[in-house]
Each structure stands twice: as structure tokens, then as C-alpha cells.
A and B are shown apart, each in its own frame.
Chain A
Amino acid sequence: MGRVIEKGKISAAQSAMMLYLGIVPTAILTTPAITYKFAKQDLWISPIWAISAWITIFIAFRFHHMYPGLNIVQASEQIVGRVLGKLIGFILPFFYLYLNGIVIREYGEFLVGAFLHQTPLIVVTGSMVLVCALAVRGGVEIVGRFAQLFLPAFVALFLFIILTIIPDLNPLYMLPIMEGGILPSIAGAGVLQSWFSEFLTVSFLLPFVTDREKAAKSTMISLFAVILTLVISNLATLLLLGEMTGNYTYPFLILARYISLADFFTHLESLYMAIWVLGAFVKICLFFYVSVLGTAQWLDLSDYRPLVFPLGFLLMLLSIWVAPNLQELTHAISTTVTISLIAVFVAFPVFLFCMAWVKKRLGRNMG
């Protein structure tokens, strides 16, 4: 049993908001283009196939039921023993660090590519990592409150963009629905699984939730909100851009750029960026926090705060190291990263869960 190193508490609603902001910001940014490649005009159906989200949420909650107060890394130590548990305890936080490196790189490439053309990438990403490191030092409570603070702004802006773009949408782009049967939409959902599998993060938040009986319900609400957001953003992108959806790196940005209200409100993409940065901040903080907490538990430390800055530095290095340029990064996201995410966040916990279940059965029969 690890020592209690986090004294902060969050509510079930806060954990749901953290999960929502931990998944949606980068998902609405790039998924319309990636999904379009496979699903064509059915890309708005793809987010409904959130299979890996169901699996990871189910496993996280079952684990928390079997081993109350422990996250998946601590529980694995109870299941497979100390040595193998330590190995798992290394893989998961390291993977969160790697994933976060990708997220930070995406964030930096997006800001530099779309807005701050003259700024060096390392300045954009470095300042973000520094701010996140300061927030993570504050603990899970601070990250939760940031999520609570930014979520209304994020959702309001999202709805604002969608509502103002409605007159320009062309519903005919949607047709023919399911031209090639249901398979293209499922193929498009393949890449989306990498976002949905991030719901495993709930396992690290559950031990800090005060009103646990509400946790399952609010996580479900969070999942449905994510699915709904992605369906709406994919649909709006498709109805505005039609067959051009796949040509843009950031189709949703084009949407924000397209808005022109009474020839007065134009260039709303700057507003979009401002709010999007807040969302990305919560996402990076959440994953950063998980990797810091996981590492501190892995090393049996009594405090995680000394690890924040060294790990933040490693995060910076990883964000440079993951890919040499944006093209290779996007390519890696739709192939390598997706496969490794499904392996580490879905297949691996399923395997662990089976072991825990068998162990429990055997234990009952012997006793």
C-alpha cells in the first residue's frame, strides 16, 4: 500500500469536467480531418462507436470497487505482486508522459501554425509547461477547480461557433447517409479510440472523489457529452466544408474563421484560440498530474511536488522528441499512437482485470 500523498479532494462533477476537458480540446481540433479519411460523409456517426471508453470506464470502476481507494497502478501491485506491479507502475505514468508530450507538441504546432507564426515553438510549449507545472504543484484540487472554471467558457464558445455557423451549413453534404453500409463509420472510429481510451484517467481521479456514489453517473454524463460534442463538431465541419474536410489540418478552425455576423463580428478564430488554450491547459495539467502522481507512487515518495519540475522538463524534451515535424506527428497519431494507446490503455487493463477476476475466484474457492 502506498502512502497517502494527495490530501486534496474533488467532487464527482469536477472529475467529470476534468475528463471532458481532458479529451475534447485536442479531439475537436484534428478528428474531423482524420475521421473523414475513413468514414467520408459518415464521419459524424463515428464518435458514437466509443467502445474503448465503455471498456476503460467499466474497468476503472470495477477496479475501484475491488480495491477501494487505489488507482489502477496501485491495484496492479496487489494483483500481480510487487515486482510486476512496479513494472506496470513504470509503464503507465511514462506513457502518460509520452502522450502529454504529443499533446503539448500538437498544442504548440497549432498555435505556431495558425496564429503565432514568428514565435519559436519552444517558447510556446515551454511557457505552457511552466504554467501547468505551477498548477500541478497545487494538486488535484487546483486542476479540478480550473476545469470547473474553464468548462462554461469552453462550452459557451463552442455553442456560439456552432449556432452562428448554422445559416451557412448545407445539409446535402450529409447525403448519402451510410452509403457503404456501417463499416466506413466504424473504420473512422478506429482513430477516435485513442481519445476515448483516455477515459482510463478516471481511475486516477476516483480515489480523490468525495461523493463516490455519484461518480459513475457523472462519468457517464461526461462520456455522453464528449460523444455529443464530437458528433456536433464533425457534423458542422462536414456540412460547411463538404468534401474539403479532409484537406485541412484543423477543420474546426476554418469553421471559426468562416463566421461573419452582420459583417461586424469577423475573425472569431482568435476568440476560439483563447478558449481552446484554456481547454488544452486543463488537458495538459490532468495528464501531467497523473504522470507526476504515478511516478511518486512508483517511488513510494511521501510528496509528489519535488518531481513536478524535473518531470516537466522531461515533458518538454519529449514534446520535441516525439516527431521531427507536424506531418510525421499527424501520421504517428493516426497509426503508432493509436495502436499503442489501445494496447496500453485498453488491452492491458483488460488483461489485468481478467487476472484480478481469476485471482478473486481462486481465492474464494480455496478459502
Chain B
Amino acid sequence: MKWAAIMGVTALFVFMTMYEWPKMKGQMRREKTAFAALTILAWALSILLICYPDMPGPTQWINAIFKPLVTFLEK
């Protein structure tokens, strides 16, 4: 099941790249780099989330930063 999900997500990313890449012209190097970096980031994150769905997310990070205030509001 996990493998199917990973394959599906990867296929989606391949489609996305095939759609977007030819639209960027040769001189748009920065755009290509940004697109590639973001796509790889999203791809890695999606695989991490498929394998470890209980990974602490941004809500937990913010919780950790604002802990005293959060416990104050929880009362």
C-alpha cells in the first residue's frame, strides 16, 4: 500500500514537471532552480508523510515556541 502511494505521488510529480518545465524558457534559470528545489522538497515531504504519518507538524513546532501562552489559553 505504501509503495502504491509513493508510486502515485511520484507519478503526480512527473506529470507536474512535464507540464511546467517546457513552459519555462532557456533564460529562466532562477525559475527552473526554484521549481526543481520546491518540487524535490514537496516530493521528499510527501514520502516522509506517507511513511511516518505521525511526524510532528508545524502546529507542534508553534506549540513548542509559544508553550507558556498556549497553556495559559488552554485553561
Contacts and interface: CB of A to CB of B under 8 A. Distances in A.
B67 to A, nearest CB: 10
Contacts of B39: 310, 313
Interface string A317-339: 11011111000000010111111
A116 interface: no
Contacts of B35: 306-307, 310
A299 B59 contact: no
Contact of B42 (A314, A332, A339): A314
B23 A336 contact: no
B23 to A, nearest CB: 7
Interface SS, B side: helix
Identify whether the interface residues of A are mostly helix, strand, loop, or mixed: helix
A349 B45 CA distance: 30
B38 A317 contact: no
Interface string B41-73: 110011001000011011100110110011001
Interface residues of B, number: 33
A307 B49 contact: no
A247 interface: no
Nearest to B42: A313
B61 to A, nearest CB: 10
Contacts of B1: none
B32 to A, nearest CB: 8
A310 B42 contact: yes
A98 interface: yes
Contacts of A318: 57-58
A313 B24 contact: no
B73 A314 contact: no
A336 B38 contact: no
Given A303-B31, A335-B74, A309 B59 contact: no
Contacts of A101: 58
Contacts of A335: 70, 73-74
A317 B53 CA distance: 11
Given A299-B30, A310-B42, A321 B58 contact: yes
A300 B66 CA distance: 32
22 contacts: A101-B58, A295-B34, A301-B30, A301-B34, A302-B28, A303-B31, A306-B32, A309-B19, A310-B16, A310-B35, A310-B38, A310-B42, A321-B49, A321-B55, A323-B57, A335-B70, A336-B59, A336-B62, A336-B70, A339-B73, A340-B66, A343-B66
Interface of A: 98, 101, 190, 295-296, 299-303, 305-307, 309-311, 313-314, 317-318, 320-324, 332, 334-340, 343
Q: Which 6 A-B pairs have the closest CB atoms?
A: A310-B38, A321-B57, A313-B42, A306-B35, A340-B62, A310-B39
